[in-house]
Amino acid sequence: MKTLDDAGTLTTTDPQDFLGVVESFPQQLTEALEIGRSVAELPSGQFTSLAVLGMGGSGISGNVLELALAEGPTVVRTFKGYSISPWVGKETLVFAVSYSGDTEETLETYRQAKARGAAVVAVTTGGALAHLAEENRDTLIRIPSGLQPRAALGYLSVPLIVVAEKLGLTSGAVESLEKTAALMKSRSDEWSRDVPAESNPAKTLASELEGKIPVVYGSEGIADVAAYRWKCQLNECAKVPAYSHVFPELNHNEVVGWNRLAGITTQSVALVVLRHSKEHPRITKRIEVTLPLIQGNLGMVRQVEAKGSSDLEMFFDLVYFGDFTATYLALAQGVDPAPVDVIQDLKRRLAGS
């Protein structure tokens, strides 16, 4: 394992300074709020539903919007694929989100939404999506380029929430995001590269995860989406297989799977459980009962508790710790966290078929 306190090692392993992008996330949130506030031409209409079109690091923006609007009357659904549901139409506000602007699944569903007369807000750095949005006179939100999509979560998700609040589809979310940015600044100070491993829980957890397959458990809502984000960041940054599941669903299936193969799983699997203060009381009880039943068949079990008072604060707190942990795990392994060569190769092969 490479030491995470050696500045020279970090620089050599991370030539694009991906860790620096993670450390600057609080500033990204603030900038994303201003981008959302600057949107002048909003779609008009009475919207009874919202749809978000996106894949990967762009698609999770829809899950964040779902959290922000969870207590409101508007139905929100995220589509991650080549098709949208029949109910998407003239009373649906559609957010088409693609960092590059060239995601083929998003372009396909964008065309479907336009054919049904839906109002569309496009969020992108450019590409074909920006061209189509301008051609069709859609609301176009341009965000800064030059990042990996997974490192642009603030730019990709926050403008959607601001626009939704401007349209009266939610309230109080922008204030929560302002508080979130302040909380993330304090967390960055706790988890940044300058904080030594002995005092840095993100570095500590990354070191414990090295050589293991991470499994991340969350609970329905806030921690469900956060657990999925952890899984994706561990895949793309650390280049390791990782998996996620959610309480209480996992109590009806996956919990049985840990009963066998202990000789393998105790050596190779690490479980991280994401917690927060708004868990349903029965979820809390389920976690208390479940962990003693399975921990003997796992290499280790760690729990991560969110800070914050609102859903958005706690969600981003869990996500941000996961971003640091996944990046540090990459660096501990001597792996550059920025490139995703397999995904780029896959896209090239698809383009040629």
More confident residue, 171 or 123: 123
User: Taking 60 as the threshold, does the pLDDT of residue 301 lie above it?
Assistant: yes
Residue 176 contacts by C-beta under 8 Å, 6 or more apart in sequence? 68, 310, 311, 312, 313
Give the CATH number for residue 322: 3.40.50.10490
**131 & 216 share domain:** no
Q: Tell whether 165 and 222 lie within a shared domain.
A: no
User: Domain check: are 206 and 235 in the same one?
Assistant: yes
Q: Which residue has the tokens 């693609």?
A: 98
Residue 176 scores a pLDDT above 80: yes
User: Are residue 212 and residue 259 in the same domain, yes or no?
Assistant: yes
Distance CA 237, CA 96 (A): 25
Summary mean pLDDT of the chain = 95
Of all residues in the chain, the percent with pLDDT exceeding 70 is: 99
SS (HEC) of 81-134: CCCCCCCCCCCEEEEEEECCCCCHHHHHHHHHHHHCCCEEEEEECCHHHHHHHH
The total of other beta-carbon atoms located within 10 Å of residue 216's CB is 26
Q: Indicate whether 48 and 112 sit together in one domain.
A: yes
Residues 174, 217 within the same domain: no
Reported as type and span, the H/E element at residue 270 is strand 269-275
Is-contact 163 42, C-beta < 8 A? yes
Amino acid letter, residue 20: G
The total number of structural domains that make up the chain: 2
Q: Which tens digit of pLDDT belongs to each residue from 21-71?
A: 999 999 999 999 999 999 998 998 889 999 999 999 999 999 999 999 988
168, pLDDT greater than 80: yes
Same domain for 144 and 269, yes or no, is: no
Q: Which residues are catalytic?
A: 236, 252, 347
Query: Within a domain: residue 337?
Result: no
Last residue of a domain, one of 178, 209, 233: 178
Question: What are the tokens at 37?
Answer: 């506030």
Residue 96 lies in a domain: yes
Residue 186 domain flag: no
**Does residue 92 surpass a pLDDT of 60?**
yes
Residues 307 and 204 in one domain: yes
Is the C-alpha dihedral spanning 249, 254, 259, 265 positive or negative?
A: negative
pLDDT tens by residue, 104-155: 999 999 999 999 999 999 999 999 999 999 999 999 999 999 999 999 999 9
Same-domain check for residues 271 and 160: no
Give the rounded percent of residues in the chain with a pLDDT score beyond 90. Answer: 90
pLDDT score recorded for residue 2: 66
pLDDT band at 8 (very low <50, low <70, confident <90, very high): confident
Q: Give the pLDDT confidence score for residue 1 in this predicted structure.
A: 53
Residues 104, 174 within the same domain:
yes
Any domain includes 228:
yes
Range of the domain at 279: 7-13+195-332
Q: Could you give the CA distance from residue 241 to residue 42 in angstroms, rounded to a whole number? A: 41
